[in-house]
Amino acid sequence: MANQEQVLIVGGGVIGLLTAFNLASAGRSVLLLDRSGLGQEASWAGGGIVSPLYPWRYSPAVTALAHWSQDFYPRLAEQLFATTGVDPQVHTTGLYWLDLEDEAEALAWAERENRPLRAVNLSAVQEAVPVLGEGFARAIYMENVANVRNPRLIKALRTALEALPNVAIMEHCEVSGFVLEGQRIVGVQTSIGEVRAYQVVLTAGAWSGELLKTVGLELPVEPVKGQMILYKCEADFLPSMVLAKGRYAIPRRDGHILVGSTLEHEGFDKTPTLSALESLKASAVELIPALAHAEVVGHWAGLRPGSPEGIPYIGQVPGIEGLWLNCGHYRNGLVLAPASCQLFADLLLGREPLIDPAPYAPAGRI
């Protein structure tokens, strides 16, 4: 029988990494497995805005996780930077939404939720963001929205985990199924054989649904492809994030500008396409005309773990002892990670949960 302190985590994206970090920090022995390299899927591919793109369009379940995470991110970044020397670059720039169809709903939501979102005059936007394109009529702004440089966040979390004596990491180790004894999970089947553990946590993003099928469960998590492009400009070229017509531009501190993203249901194919490249470039130039003369220095695709209403699955799988989920974050894995992983640790460790866990419970949802 496996050590009751041992937890095996399947999937090394930001959710798996932070889950591992929280459990290991509480004294659990953690083994983290990933089918490729840590954080190389959706966590690496995303934009890293520390807010849902349209926060007022989500259920209270997503909002609760988002608000806790937004408030916690600067502290998490400081803690990781202090202990690892790797700065995740939580960059507070604010975010302008332009010509929204549901602007009235957004402002009503902000008042209800007490969030600093307000309508602003277009001339004030042009003054604050001189590179913004012409032709927009209306804008709303939230000043405290940050973005996190997700590849740096992954590197910082990895470095923090590697420094802990009770953590082991195995990359390029694909999990194909679970080891069951009666109604209890006692480990996983992998490309290098059977690996045993007392508790198994599925944090496999878009692959989570495929893995649960091996124990006869239908988890409605599916891959949703998103493509991004990257420009390199001067460090102060774009002072704030801007979003219009479903597309956004995100400035990094060093002048890199991310423009995204597409939403495509293409299964597990994440090949970047020429049509998406042209569409993203057109959106970029509409938002920021000067980008017509900037070089695209990167173009990639990732697979989001699509789920109903974007509400993640956090908690124990009913009917199978020892199997836990922290997955299905759809477009908001980076946004929701701190709260999701804190809530998950609370549940597994039997602590008082930071928020009501009921909306995320797998019971009744799979």
Which residues, at least 6 apart from 46, have a Cβ–Cβ distance to it below 8 Å? 150, 226, 228, 302, 304, 333, 334
Question: Which pLDDT score is estimated for 216?
Answer: 94
Euclidean distance between CA atoms 352 and 264, whole angstroms: 39
Residues 125 and 226 in one domain: yes
Of 364 and 20, the structure prediction assigns the larger pLDDT to 20
Number of structural domains, the chain? 2
Euclidean distance between CA atoms 39 and 12, whole angstroms: 6
Residues 201 and 181 in one domain: yes
**What is the SS3 assignment for 26-82?**
CCCEEEEECCCCCCCCHHHHCCCECCCCCHHHCCHHHHHHHHHHHHHHHHHHHHHHH
The domain containing residue 272 runs over which residues?
95-143+222-306
215-229: average pLDDT? 96
pLDDT at 3 over 70: no
Residues 286 and 332 in one domain: no
Residues 301 and 321 in one domain: no
- Tokens matching residue 290: 């000067």
Residues 292 and 243 in one domain: yes
Euclidean distance between CA atoms 81 and 242, whole angstroms: 27
Residues 26 and 120 in one domain: no
Mean pLDDT of the chain: 96
Euclidean distance between CA atoms 230 and 237, whole angstroms: 14
Looking at the chain, the whole-number percentage of residues with pLDDT higher than 90 is: 98
- Tokens matching residue 307: 């789920």
Residues 228 and 290 in one domain: yes
Any domain includes 67: no
pLDDT at 197 over 60: yes
Other C-beta atoms lying within 10 Å of the C-beta of residue 325 = 26
- Tokens matching residue 330: 């759809």
Residues 214 and 228 in one domain: no
The domain that holds 324 is classified in CATH as 3.50.50.60
- Tokens matching residue 196: 């045993």
Euclidean distance between CA atoms 106 and 306, whole angstroms: 23
Using DSSP's 3-state secondary structure scheme, residue 122 falls into: helix
What are the tens digits of pLDDT across the range 244-291?
999 999 999 999 999 999 999 999 999 999 999 999 999 999 999 999
pLDDT at 1 over 50: no
Listed residues 306, 321, 337: the one ending a domain? 306
| Long-range pairs for 207-211: beta carbons < 8 A, 24 or more residues apart | 207/11, 207/35, 208/11, 208/305, 208/313, 208/325, 208/327, 208/328, 211/10, 211/175, 211/177, 211/178
Which residues, at least 6 apart from 77, have a Cβ–Cβ distance to it below 8 Å? 87, 88, 89, 90, 148, 153, 156
H/E stretch holding 346: helix 333-349
Cis omega (within 30 of 0) on the bond before 261?
yes
Residues 285 and 237 in one domain: yes
Residues 227 and 297 in one domain: yes
The domain that holds 236 is classified in CATH as 3.30.9.10
Question: Which pLDDT score is estimated for 7?
Answer: 98
- Tokens matching residue 38: 């840590």
Listed residues 269, 291, 306: the one ending a domain? 306
What are the tens digits of pLDDT across the range 279-331?
999 999 999 999 999 999 999 999 999 999 999 999 999 999 999 999 999 99
28-40: average pLDDT? 97
Listed residues 261, 288, 306: the one ending a domain? 306
pLDDT at 4 over 90: no
Euclidean distance between CA atoms 293 and 244, whole angstroms: 20
- Tokens matching residue 19: 């889950």
222-239: average pLDDT? 96
